[in-house]
Structure 1
């Protein structure tokens, strides 16, 4: 019995050192080689931090591109999804309201033209990206509200579109914060 107790204590100490000290230090060291030195890629506007590239933000003004809805109101301290399935009546009411809002601001669209990511929250509630189709559907609204041509705004969308990982994994996406900051730069 004493033999097993000592082995258990030794194993616990070794695993605590490995998983609570060595591994976190390795991750922090590895993160120092990426943008933001492991603290996230900060995006600036007028010399001030406008946000982080990997955390979604709420944009509601018609002159900006809108991101994915958030089940946690874009609160990075408590990320999470709604945990409601597609057959949940409460969830269907929320999605239907989001569709109605999009159709109100985009009268040129049909319900079938709205990409799913524009009316459904991501699993984390903090997704900074929208699909390329989600950005394209907003071009007319943004251009009209900014007094720009559709072509000028479409060119910005193309410049800010990132293709699938390694050219084959996932869809093409657009970082909403980066796109909106690029829009603001057009005005200058």
Structure 2
């Protein structure tokens, strides 16, 4: 019994030391290093308007309404990044089939000049997290006709804008080329306001 009591003190002291190191010192050090090296990324890659108001993040997809803007992927969370994730439906799931069919019908209604066979899957399905801010370049180019007509901007100008926003693969080999929809639409908004 005395042996057990003699090891309780060191166990409590070690627990307190580890809680302080792992719960306070380490997080504070990592946060300090991140804020020093890359403060914008450490703060969530926030995007500000001309009045310095936060309008979004480069890392979280947003829903854009209106034909004069490029649309991103379908979101399972409707602009609320608090709960990321997507329903893990199989391709044969009835809810998944219904949602996909609704996406196809909405595409046909909003983009009648672009055949559904030419629409990339990323415009009809959501990402695994439901937060993906990117679409493929092909998905952006597929929307040019609609955006051009609604915004009154030449298709060639929109194609140049998309090309400007194409981000390459990570380190040249990982992932796919992609376009950040928020950044693309902010530049498009600037073009509309000129």
TM-score (normalised: structure 1): 0.89
In the TM superposition, 1:117-132 aligns within 5 A as: 117-132=122-137
Shift of 1:167: 0.9
Structure 2 stretches lacking a partner, 5+ long: none
Q: Which has the larger radius of gyration?
A: 2
Distance 1:30 1:139, change over 3 A: farther
Task: Note if contact 1:74-1:125 (Cα within 8 Å) is conserved in structure 2.
Answer: no
| SS of residue in 1 equivalent to 2:71 | coil
2:38 to 6, 31, 34: 34
In the alignment, the residues of structure 2 paired with residue 90 and residue 3 of structure 1 have an alpha-carbon distance, to the nearest angstrom, of 61
* Matched residue, 1:182: 187
Distance 1:10 1:159, change over 3 A: same
Shift of 1:171: 0.6
Equivalent residues, number: 188
Q: CA RMSD in A?
A: 2.0
Distance 1:124 1:106, change over 3 A: same
Greater shift after overlay, 103-112 or 176-185?
103-112
In the TM superposition, 1:44-123 aligns within 5 A as: 44-47=48-51, 48-123=53-128
| SS of residue in 2 equivalent to 1:51 | strand
In the alignment, the residues of structure 2 paired with residue 103 and residue 7 of structure 1 have an alpha-carbon distance, to the nearest angstrom, of 69
Shift of 1:37: 5.8
Q: List per-residue Cα deviations over 1:37-90 (Å, max 9, x = no partner).
A: 621223233323322211211102110000111111120122221222222111
Greater shift after overlay, 115-124 or 167-176?
115-124
| SS of residue in 2 equivalent to 1:171 | coil
Shift of 1:18: 3.2
Structure 1 stretches lacking a partner, 5+ long: none
